[in-house]
Copies of this chain bind each other. A is one copy, B any other.
Amino acid sequence: MPEDSTETPNIVTCTAPVNIAVIKYWGKRNEDLILPINSSLSVTLHQDQLKTTTTVAISRSFQEDRLWLNGKEEDIRHPRLQSCLREIRRLARKRRSDGDPRSTESVGLSHKVHICSVNNFPTAAGLASSAAGFACLVYTLAQAFGVEGELSGIARQGSGSACRSMYGGFVQWIMGHKEDGKDSVAQQVEPEGHWPELRILVLVACAERKPIGSTSGMQTSVQTSLLLKHRAEAVVPRRMVDMIEAVQRKDFPAFAELTMKDSNQFHATCLDTHPPIFYLNSVSQQIIHLVHRYNKYYGETRVAYSFDAGPNAVIFTLQQFVPEFVQLVRHFFPPDRNGEEYVDR
């Protein structure tokens, strides 16, 4: 980076991946800091198919902070965006005052930023675009401002699950217990290369209707679902232990069964919400039945599904089973009738 302050803006571009939770996050204990009511665990996808690309430019000639998402300017004043910007600038200031030699005078802390972010996948399809988006934003801002260190706690304040997209491989978001959220951070359980045979397919079903957004959905669930409270307190702690063990041992049947059970339990708590929230549609139900019939046919668990706050299925399987299962999906859900599908990881 240049050491003198010039008119040339400081420009940094980074990409960030999508992550798919296998132990689900649903419900906050603190809305402002985005602190969850339970820990969660996810698999970070490769960036070959799904990724967010963000460019941050910092220049003293900029009049104000501005943001473009997929080419369209958005309101930069969104509180969560502001949280991330404020936290990164605070760390940059701290670093400079600590006299860190890597801190660059060229990046004026009073200078404004322009942010451009693009997803290479349909944002509306509910494919954790905000997780990749905020992870990418925080990481790119950090690079631009010369900030290093633990950043998942900042990404968390943009979008909860974004903290898990700060790492590759298998990542847990430890709920933490501190009031200020300092211990609510992501941690890598196993790195990217740990389980090379694992494959993830994303089946994009045509959404019949726009679902309720996760932020307001989980608020209502926390307020009204007695089952969610029980899940967070009594079910998930044990499942986190079991899931980490299944991942470490690369025990696919254990991993798969727990993944399906946790997806269904998350949707069960949505149904126990008042008024109830439905994210699964009839296509989702058909995929669930197909997976169970497939596993039953072979007498072993070869495929698992997981659904986030939308009807699209994420399929987990092992490399050797991909061709047959994809053929089965194409048979029951012809691409021209039911939308596209993505194969990833």
Contacts and interface: CB of A to CB of B under 8 A. Distances in A.
Of listed A274, A275, A285, residue having the most chain B CB within 10 A = A275
A264 B272 contact: yes
A263 to B, nearest CB: 9
B276 A288 contact: yes
A257 to B, nearest CB: 8
B235 A261 contact: no
Nearest to A257: B274
Contacts of A254: none
Contacts of A234: 226, 230
A282 interface: yes
A268 B278 CA distance: 11
A245 interface: no
A234 B230 CA distance: 10
A210 to B, nearest CB: 13
Contacts of A224: 261
Contact of A227 (B268, B278, B288): B268
A116 interface: no
A165 interface: no
A271 interface: yes
A43 to B, nearest CB: 21
Contact of A231 (B227, B261, B275, B285): B227
Given A230-B230, A234-B230, A282-B281, A272 B276 contact: no
A271 B282 contact: no
B260 A264 contact: no
B275 A265 contact: no
Nearest to A233: B230
Nearest to A295: B275
Interface in A206-254: 208, 224, 226-227, 230-231, 234-235
Contacts of A208: 282
A223 to B, nearest CB: 13
A156 interface: no
Nearest to A293: B275
A157 to B, nearest CB: 31
A12 to B, nearest CB: 45
A267 interface: yes
A265 B272 contact: yes
B264 A274 contact: yes
B278 A261 contact: no
A292 interface: yes
Residue among A226, A268, A275, A282 with most chain B CB within 10 A:
A268
A52 interface: no
A117 interface: no
Contacts of A231: 226-227
Contact of A268 (B272, B275, B292): B272
A269 interface: yes
A275 B265 CA distance: 11
Contacts of A269: 227, 268
6 contacts: A226-B231, A227-B231, A261-B272, A264-B272, A264-B274, A267-B271
Given A226-B234, A230-B234, A275-B292, 6 more contacts: A226-B231, A226-B265, A227-B230, A227-B235, A267-B271, A275-B288
